[in-house]
Amino acid sequence: MKKLLAALGVSAALALSLAACDKSPGKLQFQNTDLTGLSYAEKLSLTDHTGKPVTLDTYKGKVIAVFFGFTQCPEVCPTTLFNMANVMKELGPQADQVQVLFVTLDPERDTQELLAQYVPGFDKRFVGLRGTPEQTAAAAKEFKVIYNKVPGKTADSYTIEHTAATFVFDKNGKIRLYVRDKQDPAAIVHDLKLLLS
């Protein structure tokens, strides 16, 4: 019986080690929500903070992290961008293979010039994206991002309630991860390294 248990233990250890080495799509041990194989968030067509039209294909060959927000967001958006800046630092040289995109849900106030100041302020490699209100609505729908304008005391002091999550794509432009708000940067680093390997 002891020999049988020992043999089973060795087999289990071997199976675990083989599983850990399996890097085929969908088999990686992500710490964030695995979206591999889902068919949404397949396109994004907006203008970057330099005025250049971009799509997801613009950044093919890199791991892409997309976050929807707005520059006047009091907490969630700056915290997310700050955390992603720390993720880039932790990745070291590998960070050059990652592209962070911040999509504004407030194109009325978030001008190209404002995005050009705000977004790269967290990391010079980060890119801000904007579109018309119609393009913004289409992008949000494609990513299943819900957002709602909440009136303020004046016409231009409104805020925006929105889905707070980061969507991560692999180097082939396929969606792979949903990173929830306030996720530990170490978990993001872990998963990005898997996608970069």
Binding site for Cu cation: what residues are annotated?
73, 77, 162
| Known binding positions | 73, 77, 162
Q: Please count the other Cβ atoms lying within 10 Å of the Cβ belonging to residue 31.
A: 16
Contact present, 191 and 31 (Cβ < 8 Å) = yes
Alpha-helix residue ranges (DSSP H) falling in 124-179:
133-142
3-state secondary structure at position 57: helix
Q: Where are the beta strands (DSSP E) in the chain?
A: 33-34, 45-48, 53-55, 63-69, 98-104, 127-130, 147-150, 159-162, 165-169, 175-180
